[in-house]
Amino acid sequence: MLLLLGLSLGLRLCAGSLEAARPQDDTSEQSGLRGPRQVRLLQRLTKDALFTILHDLRPQDHFNIIGFSNRIKVWQDHLVSVTPDNVRDGKVYIHHMSPSGGTDINGALQTAIRLLNDYVAHNDVGDRSVSLIIFLTDGKPTVGETHTLKILNNTKEAARGQICIFTIGIGDDVDFKLLERLSLENCGLTRHVPEEEDAGAQLIGFYDEIRTPLLSDIRVDYPPAAVERVTRTLFPNYFNGSEIVVAGKLAHRSVDRLHVEVTASNSRKFLVLKADVPAQAPDADEGGAGAPNPLQRLWSYLRTRELLGAWRHSHDESQREQLGRQAQALAVAASFLTPLTALHLRAEELQAPQGVSAAAGPEPVMQSLRGAGPQPGNLAWRRWPWGTGVHGPRSAGLVGW
């Protein structure tokens, strides 16, 4: 397994982690498990992906390589600068590494974050730098901590919102939901490279795309008297392909236009965007009589997620109880399944349950925005963990109802 860390000095700080293909039992491919040929293919794809990203590192970057399988192996005890010799030695190190079984995803991420934090603590890193982790894997966690929610919580607590994680899944056996949530909960993006694809070709330009955020320190403001119950409006970074969604309620339904002001910075300057956007009420007939307001459900989803995040990270018992009650009440009202709510179905309800998991991702909400409802039956058989991010329109505008 391989873990690549990269550090970009100057305007941006970046880091990344990658894992190589691990061997499986020598069984027939028809059994659904990997045979020797498939293992060799995944190893080649993984190394090609690593070589591609190493090739894209810039002279101002720093990087390290960590191997992880059932053990964690660090190439260097600190991040090294990007020089022709260091890149060559890194490629040689990757070429000669052979997987030894097991996948300690939690340990690899903790090691990567610790190396980054140590570097930042002991070096003069610019205020406008941003830490990035690129995590590449071909499988699921099998060593150390293997529980998905614990891996997510451990990673988020260690990163403390200061490190963005980008994940790359190679092959068909990857736990893509885990990779997606690792990225979405830590301001990153996810890529999937199928086994039949050329990993190197798929990832050409990937590092160029993510090494520098398009915007940093984004703030979305609305006139206080014009809006109510607005969700999160501060965001650390905006990368090409990521998104920002803000939801809230218009204080006055008669408003025709809403003033929006967005402030942010990029590598060259501080930006201010001001605009008056149309404030259109949703069609009352859309979705049929009695259908839930899709924009209100989007707000409920975002707000429930924010409350659950604060509840999870609070160490004050009275505050946790208050946050938990608020999240629970909102989730029950919106029919979301969360760690604080339970789903009860009667036999006659199994045909078309109306509940939606607040953690299953916002796909049901975004489908509703497009005029489609939740997928029937998806909650009758599965309890979804909470914590994925938002897909949908790339927008910094207020979604109001």
Report which listed range, 261-265, 294-298, 375-379, is most confident: 261-265
Looking up residue 160, the CATH number of its domain turns out to be 3.40.50.410
Q: Which two tokens stand for residue 124?
A: 């003069």
Give Cβ neighbours of residue 352 (< 8 Å, ≥ 6 apart): 376, 377
Query: Which 8-state DSSP code applies to residue 138?
Result: S
Q: Which of 199-208, 261-270, 291-300, 353-362 has the lowest mean pLDDT?
A: 353-362
- Are 206 and 232 within one domain? no
- Are 206 and 222 within one domain? no
- Are 359 and 325 within one domain? yes
Q: Which of 88-92, 147-151, 237-241, 289-293 has the lowest mean pLDDT?
A: 289-293
Q: Evaluate whether 3 touches 67 at the Cβ level (below 8 Å).
A: yes
Residue that the structure tokens 């061997």 belong to:
23
**Domain edge (last residue) among 167, 183, 210:** 210
- Are 155 and 266 within one domain? no
Q: Which of 246-260, 323-337, 369-383 has the lowest mean pLDDT?
A: 369-383
- Are 225 and 337 within one domain? yes
Minimal CA–CA distance to 64: which of 124, 10, 125, 14? 14
Convert the pLDDT of each residue in 53-71 to its tens digit: 788 787 877 888 877 778 8
Cross-strand partners of 258: 277
Whether the predicted pLDDT of 277 surpasses 50: yes
Q: Which domain holds residue 294?
A: 213-401
- pLDDT higher at 374 or 50: 50
In this prediction, residue 99 carries a pLDDT of 64
**Domain edge (last residue) among 185, 210, 235:** 210
Average pLDDT, rounded, for the chain: 72
In this prediction, residue 4 carries a pLDDT of 47
- Are 39 and 179 within one domain? yes
- Are 311 and 217 within one domain? yes
In this prediction, residue 241 carries a pLDDT of 66
Span 323-336, mean pLDDT?
89
- Are 25 and 110 within one domain? yes
- Are 188 and 39 within one domain? yes
Span 191-215, mean pLDDT?
71
Strand locations in 146-282 (E): 163-170, 190-193, 215-221, 227-228, 234-238, 246-247, 249-250, 257-265, 270-278
- Are 268 and 225 within one domain? yes
**Domain edge (last residue) among 161, 183, 210:** 210
Cross-strand partners of 66: 3, 74
Whether the predicted pLDDT of 379 surpasses 70: no
- Are 262 and 178 within one domain? no
Q: Following DSSP, what letter does each residue of 293-306 receive, concatenated?
A: -HHHHHHHHHHHHH
In this prediction, residue 2 carries a pLDDT of 42
Gap between the Cα atoms of 228 and 230, Å rounded: 6
H/E stretch holding 3 reads strand 3-8
Convert the pLDDT of each residue in 98-137 to its tens digit: 766 778 899 989 999 998 888 888 887 766 566 788 888 8
- Are 360 and 225 within one domain? yes
Convert the pLDDT of each residue in 10-44 to its tens digit: 223 333 344 443 333 322 222 233 444 545 655 66
Total number of domains in the chain:
2
